[in-house]
Amino acid sequence: MPNDGYLDKSVHWKVRSGQLAFAEPTHGEVAEAILDCGLATEVGQRLGSGKEADVYLCRDRNRLLVVKTYRQYRTSHTGGRPVKLESMGQRALRELELLGYAWEGGARVPKPGRRVENMFSMQYLGTAEAVAPMLQHAVLRDPGLFLQRTIDGIEGLAEAGIVHSDLSPFNILVHDDQPWYIDLAAGIRVDRLGAPPWVRLNEAFRALERGAEVLARYFRKYGLTLDRADLMNRARTKIDLFRLG
């Protein structure tokens, strides 16, 4: 059994008595959990599935929204408490906080909603007909302009005090001809660096450089050059201003 080593006796008892299920929930169970906790009134299709989380298109009364759920070994609905709920709850909380922080700082990210346990809601990007595509799969009307907007957007995140540490054409959605930045989970808030702060900041800038490289490769297929040095300079300047201010 996966968590054997660190489960206490009461949890072992729940496992033996069948109150805990060591399996990922089905789509129906996730939907039930989202509805139960009141994050939405209807749960639709799964939009994406990453290393640790699944993303669902939902509706809250007549408003479309998105719910991201961090996966865990969770309980059956009949009883017992979920194992690892705490840590997955922390991930959801962290991502929601980063979203809120970026949003308030004026960056182009989905507007954050609410968190319940390991799930949180956010603004849906897309129309009633179609979800906003990932940059990787989008057909760009004006790739040159979009490249400029992408760089401006990364600078905008820095201006809000955030370094996105997982930038790629999979974590940028194209909505209204603008880049929207998602999956901030691994990002850092430069006002919360801890000590020694420059270590984490340097790590984050290295991650940003890797992201810039990935994006440069992406834009090359349109024959465009993403000036990585300029991007890094702009992001650094904004972060410095943020830290001084």
Ligand X SMILES: Nc1ncnc2c1ncn2[C@@H]1O[C@H](COP(=O)(O)OP(=O)(O)OP(=O)(O)O)[C@@H](O)[C@H]1O
Residues lying near Mg ion in the complex (CB under 5 A) are found at 50, 171, 183
Cα distance from N-terminal residue to C-terminal residue, the chain = 51
Which residue stretches of the chain are H helix?
9-16, 27-36, 85-104, 143-159, 197-220, 228-244
Pick between residue 85 and residue 134 the one whose CB is nearest to ligand X. Answer: 134
Distance CA 142, CA 148 (A): 10
Pick between residue 20 and residue 180 the one whose CB is nearest to Mg ion. Answer: 180
| β-bridge mates for residue 174, sequence order | 179
Report the DSSP pairing between strands 188-189 and 162-163.
antiparallel
Residue 100 interacting partner from ligand X, Mg ion, none (CB closer than 5 to 8 Å by kind) = none
Pick between residue 72 and residue 171 the one whose CB is nearest to Mg ion. Answer: 171
Asked if residue 100 binds ligand X (CB under 6 A), the reply is: no
Question: Quick one: which of 102, 147, 96 has its CA closest to 242?
Answer: 102
Cβ at position 94, least distance to Mg ion in Å? 15
Structure tokens at 88: 């997955």
Residue 126 interacting partner from ligand X, Mg ion, none (CB closer than 5 to 8 Å by kind) = ligand X
Among 16-24, 124-132, 148-156, 230-238, the segment contacting ligand X (CB under 6 A): 124-132
Pick between residue 50 and residue 105 the one whose CB is nearest to ligand X. Answer: 50
* Site residues, ligand X (CB under 6 A): 47-53, 55, 66, 68, 110, 122-126, 131-132, 134, 170-171, 182-183, 185
